[in-house]
Amino acid sequence: MMAYNLPYLAVVALVIIGLYALLFRRNLIKMVIGITLIESGVNLFLITLGFRKDSVAPIYTGAPSSKSVMSLPVPQALTLTSIVIGVAVLALMLTLVIHLYRHYGTLDSGKIGGEK
Amino acid sequence: MNFLETILIHSPPLIVAIPLLAAFLTPLIGKLNEKVRNGFVILCLLANTSLVFYLATDVLNNGLHTYIFGAKESTLPIVRIFFEVDEIGILMAVISSILSLLVVIYSWSFMKKSTGLSKYYTLILLLTAGMLGMELTGDMFNFFVFLEITSISSCALIAFWTDRGLSIDAAFKYIVISTIGALFVLFAVALLYGQYNALNMAFLAESIPVNFTFIDKIALVVLLAALAMKAGIVPMHMWLPDAYGRAPAAVAVVVVSATLASLYGVLRICFTLYGGIFNSIYVSSQAIGGFIVILAILTMLIGVLMALRQSDFKRLIAFSALAEVGYMFLGVGTRLASATSVTSYTDGSSMVTFPAYSKTALAGSVFHIFNDALDIGLLLLVAGAVYYATKETSMNKLGGLARNMRYTTVFFIIGLLAVSGIPPMNGFASKLIIYESTYQLNPLLSIIAVLSSIMLLAVFVKVFHSVFLGPSQNKFKDTVDVPKSMLISMAVIAGIIVFIGLFPNIVFDNLISPAVDALVDNSEYISSVLGGGV
């Protein structure tokens, strides 16, 4: 029973570490890492939800006939989409960090972008 | 079946597909000729807008449209992806498509001196596709995907002038906020999926009231918080003035409509997905509603107070846009908070009684979404025009422009009156509805709302005085009014503003009331997917 819940604990840990990095770290790269951690947590959550006890992979050709329970492949599809989106967001954020570093010469979020 | 009917049946996916396809064709056409490319973008968005209008007339006359992707017949109806277009969705689509079209026309001159314009138009088209997708989809995960498309493209647009550190900073804030918002939306979608094995909004809306587990409550709060953050409500508003104020003016207008698409998400969650809950359990309705009302009041006050002390033209408009967001949330909150009593029936179901003014408040709020998009859009375009003509946004350095920029000045007066809710303009129509209805919930609410409007007027009179009036300045001696394409798009918005202001009942009866009816009663939305053997 406990073993089934381990992924959920990992989800909680990932999201909380990510939020911590976002809220308490001032380095932009670390904030980006925080967002990536939250994203991994949510993806892990999705993929864990797809698991059903005693189910088989949803492949018709190789399915053992005695077991009729197949896990619905929707969460896997969702996770793949979410990973692809995540890569795009990550690339965009890192691009912005590079530009910010060129403009301000620092990665400290407290020293960047203040209005006069 | 003739051609028009076929188009109509397939219009929900077409409305998203046309800008998406055009987005990827734009760089190719841009290689050939810049004018052809601009014309192509305008033509595509014009075609798309007319398609939206065509679909809108049909939705308003014949009820909502459902479009199914995937197998026509299936034993599992809820597995396929649906587009579901009801009155509120199509109203938002009308707003978004009008604004994108006008922005593209405006950009023809406004962005002329920038390089990399093929990418600019590609991003605008992608953003349009994302917003329209959010507004037409009937599937939670699809909603998340379009939300992310909207965030990514609007972030890239905010940072379009990469030589300015401030706009890059605004874009970074925006992408951080949007990504966190979107990830928490995905988290909530996963919570709902884990319980009901479905992503279809109609199916979820039917299942949630039957069970209403603890996890549903968590999902509700996470969804509301994430979408309200993307709509810019107060404790999570810090990105909004930066994004509006530092982006190119044309971009800021599309970002405004992207923000309103998130607000539409809030409406969808409150009234469709959890509509059954709020219509049957009045404690939840009051709790969530009261919370939204408090935040809305804070949003209005902080928005206008911060606007008062700005000296930058665009940033000031950005803060007044924040105050306007407060008005829209005030109507939504009033609707929920006004739930009075509950009637239980013998079969175990129960029904919350809402007083008559609660529906009016929601109508005011929906009407204000429409008006705010136009008012703030016009003001931002005027600020862009002033910047285009003078290369200056600081109000301390501007002055006496009414002499040089006659048309722009007139458009600014129209926008000023509209945004502060002065009678002959559209802002008055919707704000009056909000004042009247919130007064019946608590007089204090409408007093604060009126007060914020007065302060908005004060703010904009100050702007008008320091930018357009006063002695003529030597450095602006050679300033001339902006090119035609910018004037045309401002004139169209100003025209719509005056038209709605003079005949508010035409828009209200034909567009707003059906949308509010669709929000208040979600049974048609549910039955069109689950009832009719789809």
Chain A residues near residue B173 by CB distance under 8 angstroms: 113
Chain B residues near residue A46 by CB distance under 8 angstroms: 186, 190, 193
| Contact residues, B window 39-98, toward A, CB-based 8 Å cutoff | 79
Among A11, A12, A28, A42, the strongest candidate for a mutation testing the B interface, having the largest count of B CBs within 10 A, is A42
Q: What is the pTM of this model?
A: 0.94
Tell me: pLDDT of B63 over 80. Answer: yes
ipTM of this predicted structure: 0.93
Tell me: pLDDT of B74 over 80. Answer: no
Q: Is residue A16 part of a domain?
A: yes
- Is residue B247 less than 8 Å (CB to CB) from chain A? no
Tell me: pLDDT of B375 over 50. Answer: yes
- Is residue B194 less than 8 Å (CB to CB) from chain A? yes
Dihedrals phi, psi of B209, to nearest 5 degrees: -65, -25
More confident call, B126 vs B207: B126
By Cβ distance, the residue of A49, A88, A104 closest to B190 is A49
- The per-residue DSSP string of B225-268 comes to HHHHHHHT-GGG-THHHHHHHHS-HHHHHHHHHHHHHHHHHHHI
Give me the residue spans of the domains in chain B. Answer: 279-502
In whole angstroms, how large is the CA radius of gyration of chain A?
Answer: 20
The CA distance from A30 to the nearest CA of chain B, in Å, is 12
- The per-residue DSSP string of B208-220 comes to HHHH--HHHHHHH
CATH code of the domain in which A15 resides: 1.10.287.3510
Tell me: pLDDT of B339 over 70. Answer: yes
**Tell me, what's the pLDDT at B534?**
44
Dihedrals phi, psi of B315, to nearest 5 degrees: -65, -35
Alpha-carbon distance A45 to A83, whole Å?
Answer: 13
Test B187 with A42 for CB contact under 8 angstroms: yes
Tell me: pLDDT of B321 over 70. Answer: yes
Q: Residue B74 CA to chain centroid, in angstroms?
A: 35
- Is residue B464 less than 8 Å (CB to CB) from chain A? no
B82: enclosing H helix or E strand? strand B81-85
B421: enclosing H helix or E strand? none
Test A104 with B165 for CB contact under 8 angstroms: yes
Chain B residues near residue A72 by CB distance under 8 angstroms: 79, 197
Alpha-carbon distance B307 to B454, whole Å?
Answer: 13
Torsion angle, alpha carbons of B529, B200, B362, B424, to 10 = -90
Instruction: Using a pLDDT cut of 90, give the percent of chain B over it.
Output: 62
Task: Tell me, letter by letter, the H, E, C secondary structure of B279-319.
Answer: CCCHHHHHHHHHHHHHHHHHHHHHHHHHHHCCCEHHHHHHH
Q: Is residue A8 part of a domain?
A: yes
**Tell me, what's the pLDDT at B75?**
60
Rounded mean pLDDT, B217-225:
93
| B243-280 per-position pLDDT tens digit | 999 999 999 999 999 999 999 999 999 899 998 888 88
| B397-418 per-position pLDDT tens digit | 888 888 888 899 999 999 999 9
**Tell me, what's the pLDDT at A68?**
67
Q: Is residue A38 part of a domain?
A: yes
Tell me: pLDDT of B51 over 50. Answer: yes
| Total domain count, chain A | 1
In whole angstroms, how large is the CA radius of gyration of chain B?
Answer: 22
The pLDDT mean for chain B works out to: 90
By Cβ distance, the residue of A38, A74, A112 closest to B169 is A112
**Tell me, what's the pLDDT at A12?**
94
Test A74 with B179 for CB contact under 8 angstroms: no
Test A89 with B179 for CB contact under 8 angstroms: yes
Range of the domain at A53: 2-111
Model confidence at B533, pLDDT cuts 50, 70, 90, reads very low
Helix B87-110 and helix B34-62, axial crossing angle in degrees, nearest 10: 160
Which of B58, B64, B57 is closest to B85 using CA atoms? B64
- Is residue B372 less than 8 Å (CB to CB) from chain A? no
Tell me: pLDDT of B145 over 60. Answer: yes
Chain B residues near residue A33 by CB distance under 8 angstroms: none
Q: Is residue A116 part of a domain?
A: no
Chain A residues near residue B170 by CB distance under 8 angstroms: 113
Which of B76, B81, B13 is closest to B48 using CA atoms? B13
Q: Is residue A100 part of a domain?
A: yes
Lowest mean pLDDT among B1-5, B23-27, B174-178, B359-363: B1-5
Q: Is residue A33 part of a domain?
A: yes
The CA distance from B34 to the nearest CA of chain A, in Å, is 26
More confident call, B441 vs A115: B441
Locus of tokens 């595509």: B44
Q: Indicate the SS3 state at residue B44.
A: helix
Tens-level pLDDT at each residue, chain A (116 residues): 677 788 899 999 999 999 999 999 889 999 999 999 999 999 999 998 887 777 777 777 766 666 567 777 888 889 999 999 999 999 999 999 999 999 998 888 888 877 65
